[in-house]
Amino acid sequence: MLQQLTLRLITTRLFLNFASCIMGFFAWYVISESRTITAEIPLAIYFDNLAPESRIEAPEHTDVTLQGTKNIIQKSRAIGALHFDAKTFLPGRHRILPGPENLLLPTAAKVLNYNPIEITLLSL
């Protein structure tokens, strides 16, 4: 009796439509999470060890093109930044190319492109 009722319930049109929607959503979620995407995100620029008598004129952020899964790109948007050690800079104009040591990103994020950063270090 219970077996017959269960069989009738799971073969109804409403149940099959509902189950199809749930399975479709699950399949879409799994496929979209593992798919590699490319996105351009802004990264904040920070300068460490700046002498008190110095001032840096630089943009607040720079755009970086990253490749990774959707989850990695979202983490990069949340925690991504560029850090530079300012004690090695001499006064004047500088064009900086960020390297892997300057990027604060998840390790799975692949950097495809970034623009050089132009700064001016002024001694007061």
pLDDT digits (tens, 9 = 90+) for 13-26: 888 888 889 999 98
Q: Where are the domains of the chain?
A: 1-34, 36-123
> Within 13 A of 45's CA, how many CA atoms are on the CB side?
21
Q: What is the pLDDT of residues 61-88, one digit of tens each?
A: 888 899 998 888 888 888 889 888 888 8
Which pLDDT score is estimated for 40? 92
Q: Which of 75, 71, 78, 8 is nearest to 35 (CA)?
A: 71
- Which contacts qualify for 22-26: CB closer than 8 Å, 24 or more apart? none
Q: Is the pLDDT of residue 94 over 90?
A: no
Q: Are 118 and 99 in contact (CB under 8 A)?
A: no
3-state secondary structure of 54: strand
Which pLDDT score is estimated for 113? 87
Q: Which of 123, 88, 122 is nearest to 102 (CA)?
A: 88
Looking at domain 36-123, does it have CATH number 2.60.40.1120? no
Q: Which residue has the higher pLDDT, 117 or 63?
A: 63
